[in-house]
C-alpha cells in the first residue's frame, strides 16, 4: 500500500507526509462535523462540543499509546528504543476510548451537562471517525489481517510499510482494516436511526458500546498482527467482553429507569386536579 502520500528531500532532510496521519486528521474533522450536527439537533452549544472533542482526541491518543506500552511492558522496558519506533502506530483503541470517556466525564460534570446526553451526541461521531481512520491503517499496513485465500485478499509489497508496521510482504492477507471500516459504517447508520427515535438518554452511547464490542470481538479473528493476549484472547477481545457486558447492564438499567420515570410522570399528570370549565354563556 502507500504509507506516505509523498516523500522528498528539503535542504538535505527527508520530508514525508504519512498517509495514516493525514487520514486520521481528516477523520477527526469529519467526526467533529457529525458531532456538531448532533449537538445542534438537541440544543447543545457547539463550543462545548468542540472543546470536548479536542480533549477526547488528546486523551484518546495518549490512552491508546499508554495501553499499547503497558500490554508489552516487559518488551518495552528491555527495548526502550522501540517506544520511539511505535510512535506512529495507532495504539490500542479501547485504551484510548476509556481514557477519553474518563476525561469527558470530568469535563461534562464541571459544565453541568448530562453525561448520557453528551455520550449520545458523540457516539455516532466516534464510530464514523473510526470507519474513516481504518483506511489510514490500511494504507500504512498496521492492524493487518491473518493469511487468507479468499478472492479479496490483499498483498502488501511496500518495504516501508513493513518497516513501519511489520506487515508481512508478498503474502495474501485478510483486509481486516476494510472489514472494520465497513462494519463501523453499518454501526454508524444504526446509531443515527436510534438517535432520531431514542427512548432514553444514554441509549445511543450504550448501544454503540454493545454493538462495537460484538463486532470488534468477532472481527479480531481475522487479525494477524501481534496485539497481546489475556486468558487466550486478544487484548481487544478481552476488553470487548468486559465493556460489552457492562454496557448491557447499564442499558437495561437506563431503560427501566426511563420507563419508571415515564410512568411516574404520567401518574403525576393524572393526579392533578383538572381545571373547571367555565359555564357556557
pLDDT at 264: 54
pLDDT per residue as tens digits for the range 133-165: 899 889 888 889 999 999 999 999 988 888 878
User: DSSP label at 147?
Assistant: B
Q: Kindly indicate the confidence band of residue 13, based on its pLDDT and cuts at 50, 70 and 90.
A: confident
pLDDT over 50 at 274, yes or no: no
User: DSSP label at 16?
Assistant: E
Strand, helix or coil at 184? helix
Q: What is the CA radius of gyration of the chain?
A: 23
Contact assessment for residue 227 and residue 238, using Cβ atoms and an 8 Å cutoff: no
Q: Which is higher by pLDDT, 99 or 81?
A: 99
Work out the average pLDDT over 233-238.
Answer: 87
pLDDT per residue as tens digits for the range 93-112: 778 888 888 888 888 888 88
Q: Which is higher by pLDDT, 234 or 176?
A: 176
Measure Cα distances from 165 to 145, 170, 237, 279 in Å: 12, 15, 21, 83
Contact assessment for residue 247 and residue 210, using Cβ atoms and an 8 Å cutoff: yes
Write a three-state SS string for 239-260.
Answer: HHHHHHHHHHHHHHHHHHHHHH
Lowest-pLDDT choice from 22-26, 183-187, 215-219: 22-26
pLDDT at 211: 96
Q: Kindly indicate the confidence band of residue 89, based on its pLDDT and cuts at 50, 70 and 90.
A: low
pLDDT at 21: 79
pLDDT at 259: 62
pLDDT at 187: 97
d(CA 69, CA 64): 9
Half-sphere exposure at residue 140, Cβ-oriented, CA atoms within 13 angstroms: 23
pLDDT at 260: 61
Measuring CA to CA, which residue among 60, 173, 177, 64 is closest to residue 122? 60
- Which neighbouring-strand residues pair with 18? 4
Of the spans 7-16, 42-51, 190-199, which averages the highest pLDDT? 190-199
Strand, helix or coil at 202? coil
Work out the average pLDDT over 39-46.
Answer: 88
Amino acid at each position: 500500500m502507500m504509507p506516505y502520500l509523498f516523500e522528498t528531500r528539503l535542504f538535505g532532510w527527508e520530508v514525508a507526509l504519512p498517509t495514516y496521519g493525514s487520514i486520521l486528521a481528516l477523520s477527526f474533522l469529519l467526526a467533529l462535523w457529525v458531532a456538531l450536527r448532533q449537538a445542534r439537533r438537541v440544543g447543545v452549544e457547539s463550543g462545548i462540543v468542540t472543546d470536548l472533542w479536542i480533549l477526547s482526541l488528546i486523551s484518546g491518543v495518549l490512552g491508546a499509546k499508554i495501553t499499547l506500552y503497558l500490554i508489552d511492558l516487559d518488551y518495552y522496558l528491555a527495548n526502550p528504543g522501540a517506544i520511539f519506533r511505535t510512535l506512529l502506530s495507532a495504539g490500542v483503541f479501547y485504551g484510548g476510548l476509556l481514557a477519553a470517556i474518563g476525561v469527558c466525564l470530568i469535563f461534562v460534570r464541571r459544565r453541568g451537562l448530562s453525561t448520557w446526553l453528551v455520550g449520545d451526541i458523540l457516539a455516532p461521531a466516534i464510530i464514523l471517525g473510526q470507519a474513516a481512520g481504518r483506511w489510514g491503517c490500511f494504507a500504512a499496513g498496521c492492524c493487518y489481517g491473518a493469511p487468507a485465500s479468499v478472492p479479496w485478499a490483499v498483498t502488501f509489497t511496500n518495504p516501508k510499510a513493513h518497516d513501519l508496521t511489520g506487515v508481512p510482504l508478498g503474502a495474501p492477507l485478510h483486509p481486516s482494516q476494510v472489514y472494520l471500516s465497513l462494519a463501523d459504517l453499518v454501526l454508524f447508520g444504526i446509531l443515527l436511526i436510534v438517535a432520531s427515535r431514542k427512548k432514553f438518554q444514554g441509549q445511543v452511547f450504550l448501544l454503540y458500546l454493545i454493538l462495537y464490542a460484538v463486532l470488534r470481538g468477532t472481527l479480531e479473528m481475522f487479525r494477524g498482527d501481534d496485539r497481546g493476549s489475556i486468558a487466550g484472547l486478544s487484548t481487544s477481545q478481552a476488553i470487548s467482553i468486559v465493556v460489552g457486558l457492562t454496557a448491557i447492564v447499564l442499558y437495561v438499567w437506563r431503560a427501566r429507569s426511563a420507563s419508571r420515570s415515564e410512568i411516574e410522570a404520567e401518574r403525576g399528570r393524572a393526579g392533578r386536579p383538572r381545571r373547571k370549565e367555565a359555564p357556557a354563556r
